[in-house]
Amino acid sequence: MFSILTDLLPDFLLRYWPALVSGALVSLKFLAWAIAIGFPAGMGIAVIQLNGPALLRLPVIALVEMVRNTPLLVQLWWIHFAIPILFGARSSPEVSAAIGLALSSACYFSENIRGGLLALPEGQREAATGLGIGRWCLWTRILLPQAIIDTLPASANTVLSFFKATSILSVIAVPELMMTAMRISSRTADPIGVLTTMTLIYAVLGGGIAFALRRLEAALMLRSRR
């Protein structure tokens, strides 16, 4: 059993480790993008779903349902080909991936935040209205911060699942870790070794991200209690 593992390691690692590093960096870059765009957009979507005008609310709900009820693989594929047709502009794999990932993560984050908003006591809104606090202030200073803090564990799960989902970007040829591993494996004809190494890299990076998220969660929870 161990001979299999030791046989796997050499050769391609020596030759292609820079590629694996840059592939991992691309994966992390797309994850950062999915959070940076998806999280604020998710907040907006959650508020619109709960409190927006009907004209805006219905398409947003339809979008969230479409995204959550179909596989990301198929969505990415569609976006990659719908963009040039709808807007007449060409789209590189990176651009399509960025749009697809942000759209998808926004919908998933919005579901977390919406759940948090629903769980807040009704009385808060009434009290705020009674005190003459404006709607903008009510949502941005009172309701959203509480909902975000309350649903941090769910959002941490969403971040981790999008870290894994970056591997699906390989279907439209984004040079992230999975795609890089595939490229190396077809050059070295050693798929098992390359895929095992790739899985280990994901495990280590993901473990680091999970750890960082727990620390962040603890820090934010502590601050909110003060």
Partner 1 sequence: MYKWTSFVGAIAVSVLASVSASHAQSNDSLTDIKTRGTLRVGMADSVPSQSKNPNTDQWEGYNVDMAQNLAGQLGVKLEIVDASWSTLIPGLVAGQYDIAMSDLFATPKRAQTVAFTNAYMSLGFSWVVRADFPGDDAGKLNETSITIANLSGGAMGDVIRKYAPKAKIKEVASDNVFSPHLEVASGRADATLMDHYNNLQFLKQEGGKKVRILGGDVQFQQTPMAYAVRPGDQRLLNFLNTWIAYNQTTGLSEELRRKWYGF
Partner 2 sequence: MLDISLILDAWPELARGIATTLAVTAASFLGALLLGLLLTIGRLSRRKSLQRGCEGYVALFRVVPELGVIFWSYYCLPLLVGLSLSEITCGIIALTVIAAAYVSEIYRAGYNALPIGQFEAAKAIGLKEWHAWRLVLAPQILRRMTPSLINCGIDTLKNSTLLAAIGATELAYEAYQIGNTTYNYLTPFSFVAFVFFIVIFPLSLIARRRETRLQARLR
Question: Contact residues for partner 1 (CB under 8 A)?
Answer: 7, 15-16, 18-20, 22-23, 58-59, 61-63, 65-66, 77-78, 80-82, 84-86, 90-93, 170-173, 175, 179-180, 182-193
Annotate each residue in 98-117 with x if it binds partner 2 (CB under 8 A) or - if it does not, as one string: -----------------x--
Give the binding range for partner 2 (CB under 8 A) out of 49-57, 136-144, 202-210, 215-223: 202-210
Instruction: Kindly tell me which of 40 and 112 has the beta carbon lying closer to partner 2.
Output: 112
Q: How far is the CB of 134 from partner 1 (least distance, A)?
A: 28
Cβ(87)–Cβ(99) below 8 Å: no
* Chain centroid to CA 1: 36
Pairwise CA distance, residues 57 & 103, whole Å: 16
Q: Does position 78 bind partner 2 by CB under 8 A?
A: yes
User: What's at 190, amino acid-wise?
Assistant: D
* CA distance linking residue 111 with residue 68, whole number of Å: 10
Out of partner 2, partner 1, none, what residue 146 binds, judged by CB under 5 to 8 A for its kind, is none
Residue 39 C-beta: closest distance to partner 2, Å: 19
83 Cβ contact partners less than 8 Å away, ≥ 6 residues apart:
89, 91, 95, 96, 99
Residue 180 near residue 22 (C-beta atoms within 8 A): yes
- The residue (of 65 and 126) whose beta carbon lies closer to partner 1 is 65
- State whether the Cα torsion 142-145-147-149 is positive or negative: negative
